[in-house]
A and B are shown apart, each in its own frame.
Chain A
């Protein structure tokens, strides 16, 4: 078992990891920037080290300063949380090279899954369905026409050297394709100095469904799925488990494929395999694997009763995976909403401020993971996530009713937050019916902005 853990993060996830460590009798060291000296994670940890100025680049992303802090305080391990250095393969390597334990997968596993092409190949090799398309670069229009047999229309043509949505064309039929492909080639060459192209099937209305896995390098299990289709600008805002879209048969198939992938790559720790799920075709496609604990992990904890962060710490400490697949079962339904310091009535403008009176929700089936306390000054330098409200009920309907009850109890004076968004969503018939897809929320926001004033 680990003896002393440095938590290389801030905010609610640092608090979450410190709590799990303390529950296991592990000593904790917080690191913080100059702007976070009074943050809750600093106040809760056994020790704290200032690792630099407010800018994340100079503090929470400073690998040398973090490893030095771990060594000077006598830690044997480092948990990266999510974001910052959590999926930085060099960080995992550096921690290991300095004789400390990285609570997460090896640098090689992070590298393999971090690269889109190698992750796709690994998934395909493990028998996990991937979005139909080219396995790598497409060489010439003749080869491209063959790939259309798999993809059908519409098909996306992407510049291999592009990124962030640049260099993408969509063809809806063969005529458009014959025109678009050479154009895309010429454009990619002009824009990036590299005419290489990829092709991928366009999945129209899809749900985002992801599978939680736990693995110890030899063995792997899944803890069922989460659905996170309600997204704004590709950021999840509302996550739930289980997904109402899956049949039991498809659920077993989907979750089984995630375990196959984790085993195939010798994965260790907690990870999430993300998929797009096409409701109409009843088919799922691998998108990527996240090699860290995720923001929305508590919904899985609520329905399975497993403490995922504690299991990560046990595995990192050298214990074999102690939960067997047949012991993992789902009870009820859980929903998490992200309470962000943003004003939803003003296009989600960030709202750093000082917390005044604070009333937290509680009672049966309610969990509130947060770094808030009265008088806490929310710094402007980091992510806007203030808290996660997680509710658990016997059914999805009961969970939504409980969500509304808990949001009603929540009062964060002095701050604008996304609470009004969730009250409005909980009252929406499509959300109540679970009839949503990944682009649903942005359309809804265009029509419902008026409902979001505090």
Chain B
């Protein structure tokens, strides 16, 4: 069991742009370096890359949710 935390404060997005499929869906497996979402900080966008590998990702942060740095974004098995 591992957690992916937000590296930055800002707004969390699940997909690269509105209307596009999410980077990861609940239940997907994740490798180290996989992009799992974007954080928008002051109008600039930063990819969130997983630092851990795991399976069965479950997002705890919603699309467009405001998050603080260190806030949990998703859990992995």
Contact = CB atoms under 8 A, between A and B. Distances in A.
A and B associate in one complex: yes
Interface of A: 35, 53-55, 341-342, 349-350, 352, 380-384
B66 A54 contact: yes
B41 A352 contact: yes
Nearest to A349: B44
A381 B12 CA distance: 10
Contacts of A349: 44
B11 A381 contact: yes
B9 interface: yes
Contacts of B40: 381
Contacts of B43: 350, 382-384
A381 B10 contact: yes
Contacts, number: 35
B74 interface: no
Nearest to A342: B42
B42 A55 contact: no
Given A54-B66, A380-B9, A384-B42, 14 more contacts: A35-B66, A53-B66, A54-B11, A341-B42, A350-B42, A350-B43, A350-B44, A352-B9, A352-B42, A381-B10, A381-B40, A383-B42, A383-B43, A384-B43
Contacts of A384: 42-43
B41 to A, nearest CB: 4
B8 interface: yes
19 contacts: A35-B66, A54-B11, A55-B11, A55-B64, A55-B66, A342-B42, A350-B41, A350-B42, A350-B43, A352-B10, A380-B8, A380-B9, A380-B10, A380-B11, A380-B41, A380-B42, A381-B10, A382-B42, A382-B43
Interface in B4-60: 8-11, 40-44
A380 B38 CA distance: 14
A35 B44 CA distance: 18
A381 B44 contact: no
A39 B77 CA distance: 41
Contacts of A381: 10-11, 40, 42, 66
B5 to A, nearest CB: 15
B64 to A, nearest CB: 6
Contacts of B9: 352, 380
Interface of B: 8-11, 40-44, 64, 66
Contacts of B41: 350, 352, 380
Which of the listed residues B8, B40, B41 has the most CB atoms from chain A within 10 Å of its own CB? B41
A54 B40 CA distance: 12
Contacts of B8: 380
Which of the listed residues B10, B40, B42, B64 has the most CB atoms from chain A within 10 Å of its own CB? B42
Which A-B residue pairs are the 4 nearest by beta carbons?
A: A350-B42, A384-B42, A380-B9, A380-B10
A163 to B, nearest CB: 14
Contacts of A55: 11, 64, 66
Contacts of A352: 9-10, 41-42
A341 B44 CA distance: 12
B10 to A, nearest CB: 4
A370 B64 CA distance: 28
A23 B16 CA distance: 46
Nearest to B65: A55
A54 B44 CA distance: 16
B74 to A, nearest CB: 19
A352 to B, nearest CB: 6
Nearest to A57: B64
A383 B43 CA distance: 6
Contacts of A380: 8-11, 41-42
A52 to B, nearest CB: 12
A53 B64 CA distance: 11
A343 to B, nearest CB: 12
